[in-house]
Structure 1
Amino acid sequence: MYITITRQHLGETFSQSAADFVDYLEKENKALAPEQQEPFFNQQQDHIDPKTVVQEIDANTDRLKQNEPKFYSLTINPSQRELAAIQNDPEKLKAYVREVMKDYAASFNRKEQVQVEQLKYFAKIEKERTYSGRDREIRENRPYRAQIAKLQNDLAKVKRGALQGNPKHIQRDIEKLHKQLPHKHNGKPIEEGMKKPGSQTHVHIVMSRKDVTNTYGLSPGSSYRESEAKLHGQTVKRGFRRDEFFDKAEKTFDRMFKYNRNYVESYNARKTLDKDPKAYFSKIMGLPASKRAVALKLLSKTGAKVPLPNIPTSKVAIARKTIARLQKAAALARKASSIEI
């Protein structure tokens, strides 16, 4: 499970309204018949019109300054293993979102616990993802594609007499590079914009910065994650406990669907990986054999090249013999809890 929280993009090139973002979230629906479309939903309603979403979010911005975000975007990205556990069922995912929103509300640091009924949010399920320049497959294909493009340019020059060379040899080199491309799907090189294979279902949530009464601010992106401050002579609690929310979101999924989460799929593991890759891989090697086998299989799907079964369990040995390789593998292993697995 991978959850992100992103503030509204602001600036001269971005609108103050939620209209552009909501329109972006309608991209899949535009190509589908009405009965096949995935509508917006919230805690109480199942079918909400996009125009209503924009109106509700844009009207719920009392006393917010122009440079302050009016809404936040949350994405809930179950892994392919998690999607398989719920049979990729949109209704089960919708039920999960409604439970997660309770966890989200409870994670605000307030004198009185925030309830889910105080949130103004609209969620939408999407079933497709496309490759972008940030994806490993695109990045690793890029050097080959650059060489192919150069050779194709050379071939064109040779054919028009602007460059000397053997067209057959150049074409042979192009075909050789095509075969060497590390990432393909159905025999075709993976390119930006190509749909990703497998289950890619995920959820986008448009979350108002203000509560449902348009009175109180509820910012998950606060610079003060959890603290107290003096306001009009009184101590006021403020902030948002992100770690608590991410941890609760996983536990809620596991409880609802009896999911047996592996260590590498956990938020705690991702935090350990970011802070101490040695401890992360050492923890994996210390798992029971069956769980370790699952962990290594999941990691292999991220493209991690480290021969993990041979990693010594001694901390001293790890520090001396494997730290360089662990650091190289760490960036790839960070995808272990993402939609890719």
Structure 2
Amino acid sequence: DLMVTVVAEEAVVEYAGPAEITATKPGDTRVEVPLRATVSDGADNSFGDLTHARVSFLDAGTGEPLPGCTDLAVSQVGVGTGTAGCSYSAEVDTSYQLRVEVGGDYYTAPPATGTLVTRATTTTPPTPPTSEVPDTVLRGGPGQWLLASSTTVVFDAQPVQPGQPAATFVCTLDGVATPCSSPYTVTGLGQGSHLLTVAATVAGRTDPSPARVVFTVPAGAKALKKKAGPRWKKVRTPRAYLGQAWTTRAKGAVLTAKIRDAQALALVVGTTPTSGRVKIYLGKKLIGTVNLKGPKATRVVTLPPLSASSGKLRIVTTKAKPVNIQGLGTATTPPGAP
């Protein structure tokens, strides 16, 4: 009769876990240790299937296997190589002499050894960053209409986790980004619509939906033209927006402007206790009536929502009362907007 003898394949094992580990919190009496070993074969120039091997971690001093770390399957990661591992709950302030053996269809001669030292911690470590991305929050900034060439925004980031590094910020105005901090002032704003976004970054994670504010700097009196007929007078005064205003006391006086792709409109007006009213038309359609009577001031009056976005705008006085028109706000899609 033919007798076939099957012998185990020889493998080489090495301890690949930590040599030293410290508990994460003060007062911890045990610490989880990621024990790891690498296994390789081919000492005889032939490569077997390492998934048939089993790995065990033992206390070299007592020969006792470590709980939860015996008869571990090997994951093959390449030709003739594999890894095995477990998580071992070790006592702190202890020195371990480890032995690693291979079984199953393999054997090792001699087993691998390793040293593991565990230590207690006496300080509270920083709280690791959470997986949450920061949420950028605007605390202050311009409204829809800005009667100035500069503005300041105030912002912060939430959540602010203990132990995390401070947030850094990038402010993007009309598509141009720059590092910034709160409060942040932008200057040199031209007439028209602007988009300002603020994005926080904490621990390498950036807010995917930055805080944003869209605002419009109205055009001054130069954007309006008088129509032939009842008389308008353009006056220069430091009390007016951008230093100029159209004034009249005539009924039926008309100012005009060309509007294109407007999303919202507003008039910049001077109010007084005796001022009259104006009607605003876009094309032939009446879109609103503005009462200029009130305390002496410069005001921005937002007009009702538009049904059309382009056309000829007409501002028509309704009575022979004082009217003061200082500018026109036309909100459009700002540069850099998606």
Task: Tell which structure's C-alpha radius of gyration is larger.
Answer: 2
TM-score bin, normalised by smaller chain: under 0.3
Identify, as 1 or 2, the structure richer in strand.
2
Q: Return the TM-score normalized by structure 1.
A: 0.20
Q: Which has the bigger relative contact order, CA under 8 A and spacing at least 6?
A: 1
